[in-house]
Chain A
Amino acid sequence: MLSRVADAIFWLSRYMERTKIEVTFLHTNYVAIQDNAIDNNWKLIIEKYGDKRFLEKNSKDHYKASETLLHLLTDKNNPASILNNVMYARENARSVQDNITKELWQMLNNFHHTIRNEKNDSILRNEDPVEVLDMIQQQCYLYSGTLDYTMDRGPGYFFLNVGKRIERTLQSIQILKIKLKEIHFNLDDDSKTLSFRYVLYALSGNELYGKTYRGALTIRNIINFVLFSPVFTNSVQYSLGRIRSSLNPLKEESKPDAFSQVDFEIGRIISSFVYSKPDLQDGKQLAEYLDQLEKEILMFSARFSKLYFG
C-alpha cells in the first residue's frame, strides 16, 4: 500500500473515532447538566475540545450549553469541531477513494453534507440539541457498520484499525483527565461520586461497571475500571492491547525493521502500564501519571507514522 494512502487512512480513522467518542461524551454531559446531576463543566470541556481564541474572547466561568455545543459541534472556526473532524475525515477519504469501499466513501460524504446543513445550528440554538447529537452518533454507528461490513481485510482495514485503537486509548485518557479536574483531583470526596460516574456513561461502560462492581460505586473503582478492565472495550488496558494486536496483520505490509520496532515499543508501554500501576491515593499524582501515559502513546503514534508513512 502506498505510504501516503496508509497515512490518509490512518488519520481518517482517528478523526472518526475521535468524533464518535467526543460526541457521546458531549451527549451524556448535556443530559447530565439538564438533569442537574452535575455542575456546569462546559468550560473544562471547551478547554480540551474547543478553540483557545473562543475561550479568550468569551472569558467566563460558566458557558451555556447551546453556545458550547455550537462551538464544539458545528463551528467552522474551531479547528477541532466535529464539523471539521468530519471534513478532515472526508478529505482524507477523498484522497484514498480507490482504497476504501464506495459505500464507506458515500457514507462519509453524506455525513459531511448532513453535518454542514445549516439547520443544525438553529436546532442547537433554539430547539432540542439532542436531535443533532443523536444524528451525529447515528452517523458514527453507520460509519462503523459500513466499515465493518464492506471493507476487505487487507492492509487498508488494518491501518484503519491501528488509527482507531490509538485514538480510542487517547480519548479514554482525555475524558478521565477532564473528569478528574472537575472533582478537583479529590478522590475522597464522596459527594462527587455521582458526578464522576458520568465518565462511565460517556465511555459507554455504565452497565458493565454495574455488573463488575455490583453496586459498589466509588471514584477509585471507576478509575480502576476505566484504566484496567480487561473486558471493557474503552478501558485503557483493553485499547492498548488492541493497538498491539492490530499491528500484527501489518507485519506483511512493513519494511523489515518497522514492525519489530513498533511492536517492541507498544509492548514496552503495555508492560509498564500493567506492571507499574498508578498510585490511586492522590488525584494529582494520578493526573500526572495520565499525562505521562498520554505522552508515551503520542510518541508511539509519531514513531508509527514515521516508520510506515514517512
Chain B
Amino acid sequence: MKKSTLMDGYQSNPDVWDEMYADQAVREHYSSFFANFSHYDLDTLTLKNDLAKKIFMRQGITFTVYDNGEGIEKIFPFDVIPRIIEANEWTMLEQGLKQRLKALNIFLKDIYNEQFILHDKIIPKELIYTCPFFLEEMRNFRVPFDIYTHIAGIDLIRDNDGQYYVLEDNLRTPSGVSYMLENRNVTNRLFPDQLPKNNVRLVRDYPDLLLKNLLELSNFQTSRPKVVLLTPGIFNSAYFEHSTLAKMMGIELVEGRDLVVNDLKVYMKTTKGLQQVHVIYRRVDDEFLDPLVFRPDSTLGVPGIYWAYKAGNVNIVNAMGNGVSDDKAVYTYVPDMIRFYLNEEPILKNVPTYQMDDEDNRKYLFNNMDRMVIKRTNGSGGYGMLIGNSASEKEMTEFKIAIKKDPRDFIAQPIINLSSAPCFINGKLQPRRVDLRPFALYGPNGIDIVPGGLTRVALKEGSLVVNSSQGGGSKDTWVLNE
C-alpha cells in the first residue's frame, strides 16, 4: 500500500495568504524544501515530531508549572515544519525594521527630553501624559549613547494579500530569542543536511552580537566592563531564556538579591566580596526594577539602582521608560514619527488603528464590531482583547461599556487575517496562522538584525491568537540566501 505523503490533502484557505501554497502550487521559495521533504512519509514525520519533544525535554528547554506545590515540566509546543522567507522579502523587512527602530529610538529620546514631537503637535500631549508607562523619572536624562531600544522583538503579520504589517514593537523586554536559537538546533537534528541544501542563513550569531553590544554600551574607562543579565528568577516563565543567553554570552546571571547599590554604584555579591557591575541586561520590568522609586513591594529589583543609572554609573538595557512606545495608542503614530524624525516614508505598514478617544472612531467601531479587534492600549500576551467575529453578544456589550468609561484604554483594529503556514498536527499537514518576531539589536555601531526570528503559530484551527500563554506554539524560521 502506498504510504500517504506530506502534501496529501493539504488545503489552504483561499481567503488567507498561505506561506507555502498559492494557486494549487508550491511557492518558489518553498520548492527546494518541498522537493527534499516530499520523501518523508507521514509515519516518519510522526516519529520526528516525537523526537523533537524528547529533545526539548532532555535539554531542559522547559518551563515549570506549579500545581499543588508540585512542579510539572512543560515544553512550549514546537512545530517541525519550518517557515521559509525568501531573500528579497527579508531585505525589505530588514530595512523596514531598521527604519522603524531608528525612529522609535529618537522618539524616546525626544519625548524624555526636548519633546519636539509634542510641540509640533504631531502627537497630542495628553496621549503621552496619560500613558502609565511614561516615566517622569526619565525626563531630562540622557541615556548612554542615546540608545533606548537596544533589543527589540517586533511582531509582524501578513494580511490576505501577503502585505506585511507591524503589529507591535515590543521595546521593553521582548522574549523568545532563545526559542529562535533552540528551534534551529532541533531542526538540525531532526532533518540532517536540510539547512545547507536549502541555503538557509545562520542565526547563531545572535549571542555574539548581543554581547558585543553590551560590552560597547559600557561608558566606563575600563577594558573589561562587567556585564550581567538580571532575571526575576527560576519561577519566571522565561527563565530558560535568561539562563541560556547568559550561558551563551558567558556573562553572570544575577537576581535582584545578588546586587546591591552603594555610593550610587551597583555591585554584585561574590564569594570574594563586592564587585562593580557596569552594564545590566535586565529582564525585569521597569515597575519592579527599583522598589525605592517604582513598586515598593517589588523583591525582584535592586533598591537604589535608578539613582545609580541616573548618575551614569551603570547602563541599563533596555533603557527604563520604553513602555511609552509600546502603548498601542502611541503605536498609531509610528508612521508619523518616521516622517517627522527621518523625513522618510515608512517601509513597513502599521495595522490601521482607531483610537477610542475619538467619537467618530467609537461610532465606527460600534457599528462594525464583528469585523474589528479591540485591544487594551497597555495589555500584552493576548490578554484583555476581543476579536469581533468570534465574540459573544455579552462580551461585546461588556467591551462597549468599558470603552465608553475609559476610551483612552482601548484601540480598535480591523481583523487582519494572518497568513497561514503548513504545520504537522495530528499526523497530517494542516495550515495554521502564524506571525513573525524578528529580533533587532541596537548598539553604538548601528542596528543588527539576525536573519530569522521566531515564528509563532496559533495551533488551534481557525485561531488568530499566537501567544504562548494562549495555546500558541512556534516554528523554526528560515531566511534564504540569495
Chain A residues within 8 Å of B, Cβ to Cβ: 1-6, 76, 87, 91, 94-98, 102, 105-106, 109-110, 113, 155, 250, 252-255, 258, 308-309
Known: A2-B252, A113-B58. A98 touches B269 (CB 8 A): no
Find out whether the CB atom of A254 lies under 8 angstroms from the CB atom of B272.
Answer: yes
Q: Which of B198-206, B254-262, B352-360 interfaces with chain A?
A: B254-262
Chain A positions within 8 Å of B246 at CB level: 97-98
Of the residues A98, A106, A109, A308, contact of B271 by C-beta under 8 Å: A308
Known: A76-B70, A98-B247, A110-B58. A309 touches B234 (CB 8 A): no
Chain B positions within 8 Å of A105 at CB level: 60
Find out whether the CB atom of A255 lies under 8 angstroms from the CB atom of B243.
Answer: no
Of the residues B59, B70, B71, B269, contact of A2 by C-beta under 8 Å: B269
Minimum-distance CB pairs A-B, first 8: A109-B60, A97-B243, A98-B246, A98-B247, A98-B253, A253-B271, A308-B271, A3-B269
Q: How far is the CB of A273 from chain B (nearest CB, A)?
A: 27
Chain B positions within 8 Å of A110 at CB level: 58
Chain B positions within 8 Å of A255 at CB level: 271-273
Chain B positions within 8 Å of A95 at CB level: 233-234
Chain B CB within 10 Å, residue with most, of A95, A96, A254, A308: A95
In the complex, the chain A residue whose C-beta lies closest to that of B254 is A2
- Any chain A CB within 8 A of the CB of B24? no
Find out whether the CB atom of B272 lies under 8 angstroms from the CB atom of A106.
Answer: no
Residue tally, chain B, CB below 8 Å to A: 28
21 of the cross-chain contacts (CB-CB < 8 Å) are A1-B272, A2-B271, A3-B258, A3-B271, A87-B71, A94-B234, A94-B243, A97-B244, A98-B247, A98-B251, A98-B252, A98-B253, A106-B58, A106-B59, A106-B60, A155-B271, A252-B272, A253-B270, A253-B271, A253-B272, A258-B271
CA–CA, A210 and B272, complex, Å: 46
At the interface, is chain B mostly helix, strand, loop or mixed?
Answer: mixed
In the complex, the chain B residue whose C-beta lies closest to that of A87 is B71
Find out whether the CB atom of B58 lies under 8 angstroms from the CB atom of A1.
Answer: no
Of the residues B57, B239, B258, B272, contact of A4 by C-beta under 8 Å: B258
Chain A positions within 8 Å of B253 at CB level: 96-98
Q: How far is the CB of A161 from chain B (nearest CB, A)?
A: 14
- Any chain A CB within 8 A of the CB of B268? yes
Find out whether the CB atom of A254 lies under 8 angstroms from the CB atom of B271.
Answer: yes
Q: How far is the CB of B243 from chain A (nearest CB, A)?
A: 4
Q: How far is the CB of B270 from chain A (nearest CB, A)?
A: 6
Chain B positions within 8 Å of A4 at CB level: 255, 257-258, 269
Known: A94-B234, A98-B243. A1 touches B60 (CB 8 A): no
Chain B positions within 8 Å of A250 at CB level: 271
Q: How far is the CB of B49 from chain A (nearest CB, A)?
A: 19
Beyond A3-B270, A98-B251, 20 extra complex contacts between A and B, CB < 8 Å: A1-B271, A2-B268, A2-B269, A3-B258, A3-B269, A4-B255, A4-B257, A4-B269, A94-B239, A94-B243, A95-B234, A97-B243, A97-B244, A97-B247, A98-B246, A98-B253, A110-B58, A113-B73, A253-B271, A255-B271
Chain B positions within 8 Å of A253 at CB level: 270-272
Query: Interface digits, B337-348 against A, CB 8 Å rule (1 contact, 0 not)?
Result: 000000000000
Q: How far is the CB of B444 from chain A (nearest CB, A)?
A: 25
CA–CA, A4 and B255, complex, Å: 9
In the complex, the chain A residue whose C-beta lies closest to that of B253 is A98
CA–CA, A250 and B271, complex, Å: 9
Chain B positions within 8 Å of A102 at CB level: 247
Q: How far is the CB of A184 from chain B (nearest CB, A)?
A: 41
Find out whether the CB atom of B270 lies under 8 angstroms from the CB atom of A1.
Answer: yes
Chain B positions within 8 Å of A155 at CB level: 271
Q: How far is the CB of B259 from chain A (nearest CB, A)?
A: 10
In the complex, the chain A residue whose C-beta lies closest to that of B233 is A95
Q: Which residues B64-81 have CB closer than 8 A to chain A?
A: 70-71, 73
Chain A positions within 8 Å of B59 at CB level: 106, 109
Q: Which residues B219-252 have CB closer than 8 A to chain A?
A: 233-234, 239, 243-244, 246-247, 250-252
Of the residues B60, B254, B257, B272, contact of A94 by C-beta under 8 Å: B60
In the complex, the chain B residue whose C-beta lies closest to that of A308 is B271
CA–CA, A298 and B244, complex, Å: 35
CA–CA, A94 and B252, complex, Å: 14
CA–CA, A116 and B247, complex, Å: 27
CA–CA, A308 and B269, complex, Å: 10
In the complex, the chain A residue whose C-beta lies closest to that of B250 is A98
CA–CA, A250 and B270, complex, Å: 13
Chain A positions within 8 Å of B73 at CB level: 113
Chain B positions within 8 Å of A94 at CB level: 60, 234, 239, 243
Q: How far is the CB of B450 from chain A (nearest CB, A)?
A: 21
CA–CA, A1 and B253, complex, Å: 11
